[in-house]
Chain A
Amino acid sequence: MNFITSFLLTVGLFIVGYFGSRLPFVFGLVIPYTALTLFVLGLVCRMIAWARVPVPFRIPTTCGQQRSLSWIKSNNLESPFNLLGVVGRMFLEVFFFRSLFRNTKAELYDGTRLVYGSNKFLWVGAMAFHWSFLLIVLRHFRFFTEPVLPCVLWLQDLDGLFEIAVPAFYLTNFFIVAALGYLLARRLFNPQVRYISLGSDYFALFLILAIALTGIWMRYIDKVDVVKIKELVMSLVAFAPVVPDGIGWLFFVHLFFVCVLLAYFPFSKLLHMPGVFFSPTRNLANNNRAKRHINPWNPEVKCHTYEEWEDEFRDTLKRIGLPLDKAE
């Protein structure tokens, strides 16, 4: 049900994008600017909102030996004691999904069969998806600058290393579609994951898949005029928007999907991208006993002081001969 709703929603967006190509001014200028504004403002606001909430306690999840006695080897990446360790831990988490990788060793199943836990697939799928997505976004920078930055060109060459087709087939195109297909299939066919999946979980995958597929379609099948597209994009970048004639409808669909993604981003679970940097169980050092952590709202609470306790148990204390602070 959730799956179908999300699928229909994506188809609906496709149709809107298709008809949008007849309103190039709205779909080529107004919507992209609006979406980008929403994206930037939404994201900034959300991050400010997070940052303004204090971190009252230092509660890292420790996944390795603490730093204690000098002769016990501590693990500064899994249980970081200092900033360097925290940076290293975050680096592995953000770029290599360290936690997702855990528990993915090959296992002997029932003593004989060697299998890989399903989480390994999840890790591979997640890595393939996120890295491809990142590289594709970076590759698109060739539309945003004139002249094209050398590093973008270099990336493009690397991505198209296997010159399978003309124009060169990008590896990332393959990987992102395959990974998205896997992630979708997993949500659909693994009852455990299907049970926890919400409509928005499918929608995010469909949306990105739609962006990828329309992009591939434009590049290899129904080719669009790249020169004119760059003209449009450059004019948008320069804040002097002009919509050239003769850009294929497919581009508007692609662009519309991107705009929806941008606008949707700050209000959805896609916030996990900036969010991971804010996660107190990962971004804090496990040096609690060495350095005091300050809670800005540390409350005054009612405690039971020694004096009150002594008053309550005075007779007993006297009888059993424990020392008293006050005689009476």
Chain B
Amino acid sequence: MLKELLEHRQTEILKKWFDRVVNGYKPEAARFLTGGGDRFANPVRHTLLTEFENIFSFLWGEGGDERLSTALENIIKITAVQDKTPSKALGFIFVLRDLLFEEVAADPALDAGIKQDMLVSCVHQTDSLVSLGFDIYSRCREKIYEIRIKEIKSQRAGVMARGVVVDG
């Protein structure tokens, strides 16, 4: 039931989702993200659009966790380097949850009991996104530190190699 309801409204929900997320950026950045340029000139916009759609369609089990995780990862990789707190980096999931609530609440054809069930289902789905998201976020941050340490080490390695040669 919920699945059908949401699929029916997919285009609208996706549009609202993207708009609300992008409105969290400064207006001039938001304009850039909503505006021109293909996927190469405007990669952030492209990633958000594509992966939102993927998340939406994988959410009810079509793609499996792995594909869901890839979609989330592509977005979180970006938000994780754009100096954000973890809550902000995952904020886009909460935006989706609110949207789903609004959709369910706004449907006049549903009776209260069914609505309640649907809302619970929405909470479950987005909760699973959030927990996946947290894992991915910390993986990304770990990766960044790992890369930094690797660089420090390789710089050291140069120095040490020189040291060895001096002694030899």
Query: Is there any pair of Cβ atoms, one from A and one from B, under 8 angstroms apart in the complex?
Result: yes
Q: Which of B27-44 contact A (CB under 8 A)?
A: 27-28, 30-32, 35-39, 41
Contact of B38 among A109, A190, A195 (CB under 8 A): A109
| A119 at the binding interface (Cβ < 8 Å) | yes
Known contacts A110-B39, A117-B36, A191 near B49 by CB under 8 Å:
no
Residue among B30, B36, B37, B49 with the highest chain A CB neighbour number at 10 A:
B36
A103 and chain B: residue at smallest CB distance = B41
Known contacts A110-B46, A110-B49, A190 near B31 by CB under 8 Å:
yes
- Taking a contact as CB atoms under 8 Å apart, the answer to whether A119 and B36 are in contact is yes
- Taking a contact as CB atoms under 8 Å apart, the answer to whether A191 and B28 are in contact is yes
Q: Nearest chain B CB to A159's CB is how many angstroms away? A: 33
For A108, list chain B residues within 8 Å (CB).
Answer: 38
Q: How far is the CA of A115 from the CA of B41 in the complex (A)?
A: 14
- Taking a contact as CB atoms under 8 Å apart, the answer to whether B46 and A192 are in contact is no
| A107 at the binding interface (Cβ < 8 Å) | yes
Known contacts A110-B46, A110-B49, A195 near B28 by CB under 8 Å:
yes
A-side binding surface: helix, strand, loop or mixed? Answer: mixed
Q: How far is the CA of A118 from the CA of B37 in the complex (A)?
A: 8
Query: What 1/0 mask marks residues of chain B from 66 to 83 whose CB sits below 8 Å from any chain A CB?
Result: 000000000000000000
Q: Which of A165-217 contact B (CB under 8 A)?
A: 190-192, 194-195
Q: Which of A47-101 contact B (CB under 8 A)?
A: none
- Taking a contact as CB atoms under 8 Å apart, the answer to whether B37 and A117 are in contact is yes
A117 and chain B: residue at smallest CB distance = B36
For chain B, give the interface size range.
10 to 19
B50 and chain A: residue at smallest CB distance = A110
For chain A, give the interface size range.
10 to 19
Q: Nearest chain A CB to B167's CB is how many angstroms away? A: 13
Q: How far is the CA of A96 from the CA of B31 in the complex (A)?
A: 28
- Taking a contact as CB atoms under 8 Å apart, the answer to whether B28 and A192 are in contact is yes
Q: Nearest chain A CB to B97's CB is how many angstroms away? A: 25
Contact of A192 among B31, B39, B41, B49 (CB under 8 A): B31
Q: Nearest chain B CB to A103's CB is how many angstroms away? A: 8
Q: Which of A106-122 contact B (CB under 8 A)?
A: 107-110, 115, 117-119
Q: Nearest chain A CB to B25's CB is how many angstroms away? A: 10
B46 and chain A: residue at smallest CB distance = A110
Contact of B31 among A103, A115, A191 (CB under 8 A): A191
Query: What 1/0 mask marks residues of chain B from 117 to 142 whose CB sits below 8 Å from any chain A CB?
Result: 00000000000000000000000000
25 A–B contacts, CB within 8 A, in A order: A103-B41, A107-B37, A107-B38, A108-B38, A109-B38, A110-B39, A110-B46, A110-B49, A110-B50, A115-B36, A117-B36, A117-B37, A117-B41, A118-B35, A118-B36, A119-B36, A190-B31, A191-B27, A191-B31, A192-B28, A192-B31, A192-B32, A194-B28, A195-B27, A195-B28
Beyond the given A110-B39, A110-B46, could you list 18 further A-B residue pairs with CB under 8 A, ordered by the A residue number?
A: A103-B41, A107-B37, A108-B38, A109-B38, A110-B50, A115-B36, A117-B36, A117-B37, A117-B41, A118-B36, A190-B31, A191-B27, A191-B28, A191-B31, A192-B28, A192-B31, A194-B28, A195-B28
Closest 7 CB pairs of A and B: A191-B27, A192-B28, A191-B31, A118-B36, A107-B38, A195-B28, A191-B28
